Structure formats: structure tokens, C-alpha cells
Amino acid sequence: MSCVVEIRDLSFTYPDGHKALDHITLDLAHGEKVALVGPNGAGKSTLLLHLNGILPRQTGEIRVSGLDVSGKNLGRVRALVGLVFQSPDDQLFSPTVFDDVAYGPIYQGLPAEEVRQRVQEALERVKMSEYSSRVSHHLSVGEKKRIAIATVLSMKPAVLVLDEPTAGLDPRARRTLIELLRELPITMIVASHDLPMVRELLPRTVVMDQGRIVADGPTATILSDPDLLARHGLEQ
């Protein structure tokens, strides 16, 4: 058991009858950085929402650090999985940056001194230390995005889960984000359409289409297969 995330035969159907995941099987080893690519509606977000049980598992298995993602493990799993939603507005719910980044650690019951330290550390990681007392409401999208990442880094998760992190960022904000993701020494799975970022940052790529995994391998191999990319609505 050296896998952080193990998914076996996971299928999921939304209440309206739409089958969004179809027998997904996927393992993430410790320290791996994996891209999840595929056209809109492929089921990427749906899969990510399963990783910490926000969407309840219907059939199949998911384990995080060996813990079954369900029932009484959900609390532990949510501390282990740092899920960053696509829109930072969906992520930030507190008035100030500090409150938001401190939420996870305080909820876990950590002592005040450690909470402060973790917030400090998380903000440094995303190069936002001086923003601690700012009101998150008025930050730019790029800044909000980095704060959103800090809100999960402060939990010291075992795996970082990012949904389209570069969507809607201008080139400079995108560059800053890529650089700070590169420096994070942590297992991550990133859903994205941004193939240049995938090439630069994530050594392994999983291609999804219509709820299924259609390819899984080294990023270099997958991105140099134009037929495969074209078949699944992706282009360089």
C-alpha cells in the first residue's frame, strides 16, 4: 500500500439519470503529479468530488491513504484530501483571508499557536503572506485562486486536488500559479484543458471522455499522439 489514492470500478449516475462516471479505475502513488484531461462534460469534476466524499460513492471503491472514503472515515479523508474548486468564489466563504485559511486547522482542533503557524506557512507557499488580514472578497481572480490553494495547504493534505486551476487567469497569474505548484512537494491530481501547463508540470496524464478513462500514461507519450488528442476533443 504505497498508493495515496486507489479507485476501483467507480461508477456514478446523477439524480437526473446522467451517467457521469463509468467504471473508473485509477491509482495515484505517493508524490505523483497527475493530469486529468478531457473535453467539457467528460466527468473530471465529478470524479474529483468523489475523492473526499462530497459526492457519495454509488458503486465501486475509493480509498485515500488506505481509508475507505465513506461513513465514519469522511472526517479523516477530508483532512487528507485538499480539494480546490474551479471557481475560487466557491472555495472562500469567510470574511478575511486569515479566517478562510485557518478554517481547516481550527476545525481539526489544533492548538492556536499551530493554527497561526500553519496559516503563515500556507500563505508563504502561495506567496501571499502579506494578505492575511485582507478581505478576500475584493482580491483579483489570480489572488483568490492562490488563497484557495492556501486554504487546503493549511490542512497539510496527503493529496492536492485541483479543478481547472488555470482557467480564467491572465498569463502572468497563470505563470505564478504554475511556478508555485511546481514547488509543492506533494501528490497532486489536476483536471485541466491547459495542455502546455500539463506538459510542464505533470509527468503523468489520464485522458477521460464520456465518464471513462480512455488513456493513461506518461504525459510526453500522450501529448505526442495527435490522433488520440483529436479524438477526445483536445488540441495542442
Partner 1 sequence: MHANFLDPYQEGTSPVHRLDARIKLILVIAFILTSALTPAGAWPIFTLLLSLVLSAELLSDLGIVFFMKRALLALPFVLAALPLLVTVDGVVLLALPLGLSITQQGLERFISISLRSWISVQAAVLLASTTTFPEILHAMRALGLPRLMVAIIGLMWRYLFVMVDEVLRMLRARTARSGESEFSGHRAGGTIFWRSQVAGGMAGSLFLRSLERSDRIYHAMLARGYDGEIRSLPQPGLRPVDWLVLFIVLLLLLSLLVLSRILWG
Ligand X SMILES: Nc1ncnc2c1ncn2[C@@H]1O[C@H](COP(=O)(O)OP(=O)(O)O)[C@@H](O)[C@H]1O
Binding positions for partner 1, rule: CB under 8 A: 52, 54, 75-80, 83, 85, 89-95, 99, 103-104, 106-110, 137, 151-152, 155
Minimum distance, C-beta of residue 47 to ligand X, in the bound complex (Å):
7
For ligand X, the closer CB: 43 or 104: 43
Hey, what's the cell of 95?
A: 470574511
> By CB under 5 A, is residue 45 in contact with Mg ion?
yes
Hey, what's the cell of 17?
A: 439519470
Residue with the CB atom nearest Mg ion in the bound state: 45
For partner 1, the closer CB: 136 or 205: 136
b/e per residue, 150-188, with b = 16+ CB within 10 A?
A: bbbbbbbbbbbbbbbbbeebeeebbebbbebbeeeebbb
Contact partner, 235, from Mg ion, partner 1, ligand X, none, Cβ < 5-8 Å per class:
none
For partner 1, the closer CB: 51 or 206: 51
Contact partner, 43, from ligand X, partner 1, Mg ion, none, Cβ < 5-8 Å per class:
ligand X
Beta carbons within 10 angstroms of residue 9's beta carbon: 11
Contact partner, 133, from partner 1, Mg ion, ligand X, none, Cβ < 5-8 Å per class:
none
For ligand X, the closer CB: 44 or 118: 44
Total residues interacting with Mg ion, rule: CB under 5 A = 1
Identify the helix (H) or strand (E) that includes residue 50.
Answer: helix 44-50
Residue pair 199/219 in contact (Cβ under 8 Å)? The answer is: yes
Identify the helix (H) or strand (E) that includes residue 78.
Answer: helix 74-80
Contact partner, 93, from Mg ion, partner 1, ligand X, none, Cβ < 5-8 Å per class:
partner 1
Minimum distance, C-beta of residue 45 to Mg ion, in the bound complex (Å):
3
CA distance 12 to 27: 18
Q: Mutual orientation of helices 97-107 and 112-125 as an angle, nearest 10°?
A: 130
Hey, what's the cell of 32?
A: 505523483
For ligand X, the closer CB: 87 or 96: 87
Contact partner, 20, from ligand X, Mg ion, partner 1, none, Cβ < 5-8 Å per class:
ligand X
User: Pairing state of beta strands 187-191 and 159-163?
Assistant: parallel
